[in-house]
Amino acid sequence: MHESFVSNPSFFKLDATLKKIKNYWQKNFDARGLAITVDQWLVIENLYKHKRITHNELAKLTSKDITTVSRIVELLVRKELVERQGSTDDRRKVFLQLTPEGVSKYKEVRPLVLEMRETGWKNLTEGDFQEMTRILDVIYSNIP
Amino acid sequence: MHESFVSNPSFFKLDATLKKIKNYWQKNFDARGLAITVDQWLVIENLYKHKRITHNELAKLTSKDITTVSRIVELLVRKELVERQGSTDDRRKVFLQLTPEGVSKYKEVRPLVLEMRETGWKNLTEGDFQEMTRILDVIYSNIP
DNA sequence: TAGCAATAGTTGCTATGGCAACTATCTATA
DNA sequence: TATAGATAGTTGCCATAGCAACTATTGCTA
């Protein structure tokens, strides 16, 4: 273990980069009047891909606390982008899915998201992407 | 630009990894009764390194919004780890520095931080660290 | 030098994040 | 089958994040 590993603030650069990305995304969302947050987008994206899932499943997919998911869903329900359906099998469970407006919102936002992802990865190669993914995965698995 | 660049949620893995790191750090802080948060630690670390700086300078060093810095400082002042000193040259400015208790807190927490950084970088090389740093720097500079 | 723009910092508001405590429901088992 | 434990989700609390609006001060310039 070399000095740079321990002297360098390990999470600081991650934090700074992530904040810059989220800020950039949010400003673009706002500039286009999309009326959603970046985390709300993440939820919408997952509901589009997985159709009909519970809060718990959504929490795992988004790496969010279930309480946070619960609150984001509440905001999206108020915006009429998501609807809740109580399960009949297990009355504790609530299934979530996009409303038609939610699906429209997904399709409206998606091209901008692709564009912003390209902007972030400019000047980087496919190999860089894989390296980063690999390293983040190792860090993730290192932590108990 | 290959498909993986645009199909893969670019910030999601960063976000998930960062949350895992912060959680792990916070649990260790709490388990040892250190009575600070991870972000408060970042502020203490910067005040230890830079001695006597303003809110604005601290905000730049920590990549935090000045409002957030202002609030974290308030919490640290209440804990008597940080003290404020109004500038005489420019009465808008407030200089911040660690109290003796703040310096003690730094020295108490520092070994644990080094340990946790090593845990995060386990199974990774110096080269991996540099790769990650390079890639994050490019992403950061890509974003307007 | 009067007044306006810029700067330093604070406060209010809303959203996300995590923990603890809570309700409601379901499952397992004595 | 009564009950204890597990599970799904919500709510309260506090911390961080960012924006807008605000006060106080300073610097610039007409």
Q: How much is the average pLDDT of A35-62? A: 96
Looking at the domain assignment, is residue B72 inside a domain? yes
Nucleotides of D under 7 A from a protein CB: 7-12, 15-20, 24-27
More confident residue, A10 or B130: B130
| Averaged pLDDT score across all residues of chain A | 92
Q: Looking at the domain assignment, is residue B19 inside a domain?
A: no
How long is the CA B98 to C1' D12 vector, in angstroms? 33
Q: Is residue B59 part of a domain?
A: yes
- Looking at every residue in chain B, the average pLDDT score rounds to 92
Report the half-sphere exposure of B75 (CA within 13 A, side-chain side).
13
Amino acid B8: pLDDT = 57
Strand C bases with any atom < 7 A from protein Cβ: 7-12, 15-20, 24-27
pLDDT digits (tens, 9 = 90+) for A37-46: 999 999 999 9
Chain A partners of B6 at a C-beta cutoff of 8 Å?
114, 117-118
Of B63, B119, B131, the CB nearest to A15: B63
In whole angstroms, C1 C1' to B23 CA is 57
Domains identified in chain B, total number = 1
Assess if residue B126 is contained within a domain.
no
- Non-local CB neighbours of A47 within 8 Å, separated by 6+ positions: A53, A58, A82, A96, A97, A98, A102
Identify whether B64 is part of a domain: yes
pLDDT band at B10 (very low <50, low <70, confident <90, very high): confident
Do B21 and A5 make contact, defined as CB atoms within 8 angstroms? no
Q: Considering the domain boundaries, does residue B5 fall inside one?
A: no
Judge contact between A76 and A109, C-beta under 8 A: no
Nearest to B143 among A2, A20, A144 (CB): A20
Residue A92 belongs to a domain with what CATH number?
Answer: 1.10.10.10
Question: Is B23 a domain residue?
Answer: no
Q: Poorest-confidence range of A5-14, A124-133, B65-74, B117-126?
A: A5-14
Is B97 part of any domain?
Answer: yes
Print the domain residue range for A92. 3-142
Asked if the model's pLDDT at residue B36 lies above 80, the reply is yes
Please spell the DSSP secondary structure of chain A, one letter per residue.
--HHHHHS-TTHHHHHHHHHHHHHHHHHHHHTT----HHHHHHHHHHHHH-SEEHHHHHHHHT--HHHHHHHHHHHHHTTSEEEEE-SS-TT-EEEEE-HHHHHHHHHHHHHHHHHHHHHHTT--HHHHHHHHHHHHHHHHH--
Instruction: Please state the length of chain A.
Output: 144
